[in-house]
């Protein structure tokens, strides 16, 4: 018999199961990287710059939910490795934007592809029915995230 969706114990159990599964897949996904690759914070900032283009320190800090001082260390590492560069904001010459270098774009794209290749290989091993369940679950999780 199907559990009542408003049963607090059932909701608590579902909450724990989904949270645990999402957290585990997220950790595993982030762990799929080349030996010696940048750490999580630097890769995340690199990915943001790759997807969104020039970004201020404040916007990067806000997006990553870290302090500006912490993000400053991260972007300093990226610039010291010649993966990112500082450039004046064309709309406000007092502000600095961070942009990726060609090497930074290449690394961001390769890192993303490696992670997604690992995940696609796992998805390919599932039945069509299980992939459809995941497609539906992804849609539901997106809706919850947007709520």
- The pLDDT of residue 4 is 61
Q: Does an H or E element contain 111, and which?
A: helix 102-124
- Smallest CA-to-CA distance from 54 within 100, 105, 91, 99 is with 99
Query: How would you class 144 by CB atoms within 10 Å of its CB: exposed for 0-12, middle for 13-18, buried for 19 or more?
Result: exposed
Look at the block and give the residue holding tokens 């930074």: 104
- The pLDDT of residue 1 is 44
Along the chain (147 residues), what's the average pLDDT of each consecutive run of 10 residues?
71 93 90 77 93 95 94 96 94 90 94 92 97 96 91
CB atoms within 10 A of CB 32: 14
Look at the block and give the residue holding tokens 């997006």: 63
CB atoms within 10 A of CB 28: 13
């Amino acid at each position: 018999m199907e559990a009542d969706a408003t049963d607090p114990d059932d909701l608590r159990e579902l909450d724990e199961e989904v949270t645990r599964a999402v957290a585990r897949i997220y950790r595993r996904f982030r762990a799929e990287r080349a030996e010696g690759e940048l750490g999580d914070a630097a890769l995340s900032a690199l990915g943001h710059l790759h997807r969104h283009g020039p970004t201020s320190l404040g916007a990067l800090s806000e997006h990553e939910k870290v302090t500006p001082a912490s993000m400053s260390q991260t972007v300093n590492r990226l610039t010291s490795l010649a993966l990112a560069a500082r450039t004046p904001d064309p709309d406000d010459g007092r502000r600095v934007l961070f942009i990726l270098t060609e090497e930074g774009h290449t690394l961001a794209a390769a890192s993303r592809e490696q992670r997604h290749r690992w995940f696609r290989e796992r998805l390919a091993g599932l039945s069509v029915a299980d992939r459809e369940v995941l497609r539906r679950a992804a849609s539901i999780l997106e809706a919850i995230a947007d709520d």
